[in-house]
Every structure is written in structure tokens, then in C-alpha cells.
Amino acid sequence: MRMSIILGSLLFWGLSAFAASNTCIECHTDELDKPFKHKAAVEDCSSCHDPDHEVRTGHPYRLYEATNKLCLKCHEFRPGFPSYGNASVGHPIDGHPTSRMKDPLHPEREFNCISCHNPHSSKMETLFRYDYSKNSVYQGHLCAVCHWNIIFVGEPPTPPPWHQ
């Protein structure tokens, strides 16, 4: 009897999460329209967002926690890189910072994980927010998106729009 209650609860929770994600996608169709999709976003929107539009979590987009803290619940730095407590000085790529007061491309936004990675879907395999492919103005150079002058000479292109 007890086992059937536990299994029933798990089944209900799983179906509820599936229903919540499907309900979200009915209105937010553009969030998963790119070829590379974040597994968490496909499986269950409510793993990061409160699906109830009336709820105020204290974070943008009804996120349960601050962006970087939420990302680092599933994505940890590689060994040898700082944990969330020191996230402003470490990143798996060349010790790149992961938080700052302002995003260099979009100064009206805070710089955090989603400044570089789209948490839903992307044209790029690593869920990188901007297309830096060989066919783009960045010619395959990821760093050139923010650090144009390190790779190229001349005026940088207009920053890409936030939503691509």
C-alpha cells in the first residue's frame, strides 16, 4: 500500500511537471524554437520558474533564485575553478568572470550566466546566446563577441540583440 502511494505521488509529480511545461510552451513558443535546447527547459519549465503568473519570487521571470545560483544547482565549475561563492572570478573557459554589475553588450542588464548562454535554446551547441559561427561577423571566434579588439582591427559590429 505504502509503495503504491509513493509511486502514485511520483507519477503525479512527473505528469504535473510535464503538463506545466506543455502549458508554458503554448504561449512561450519562441523559447524552444532553436536547434539546440536546454534539457531542463524542455523537460520542465518549473525546474527554474514558478509557473503561477500570480506568484512573485523576488527574481526576474519568476525564477526561484538569482540566475547564477540557479544555474549552478545543476552546472558546476570544473575541478580547480571557484564555486558559486567566488563565481565572479572563475569560469571553465580561461577563468572568465561569471558575474559583474553590467553586461558589456547590454549595460542595462547585470552580467551573469545568461549574458552568454541562453537558458532555453540556441543556434549554438553550447547554448551560447550569440551566433559566433564561421558564417557570422565573428567568423567562428567566440571571444570576439565581447572582445572584438583582441581578434580583429577596426570598429566592432553593433552588439547583437538580446533575443536572437
User: Looking at residue 117, what DSSP letter applies?
Assistant: B
- pLDDT top residue among 19 and 69: 69
Q: How far apart are CA 17 and CA 44, in angstroms?
A: 6
Using the structure block, give the residue that is written with the C-alpha cell 538580446: 162
| Confidence (pTM) | 0.75
**Residue 100 three-state SS:** strand
Largest CA distance in the chain: 72
Give the confidence band of 88 by pLDDT, cuts at 50, 70, 90: very low
Distances (CA, A) of 164 to 27, 34, 115, 134, 161: 18, 9, 12, 17, 6
Give the confidence band of 99 by pLDDT, cuts at 50, 70, 90: confident
Q: What is the mean pLDDT of residues 57-71?
A: 91
The predicted pLDDT at position 160 comes to: 87
Using the structure block, give the residue that is written with the C-alpha cell 519562441: 30
- pLDDT top residue among 104 and 97: 104
Task: Report the half-sphere exposure of 160 (CA within 13 A, side-chain side).
Answer: 17
Residues of the chain with pLDDT > 90, as a percent, come to 51
Q: What is the mean pLDDT of residues 110-134?
A: 92
Asked if 20 contacts 43 with a C-beta cutoff of 8 angstroms, the reply is no
Q: Report the mean per-residue pLDDT for the chain.
A: 79
- pLDDT top residue among 27 and 94: 27
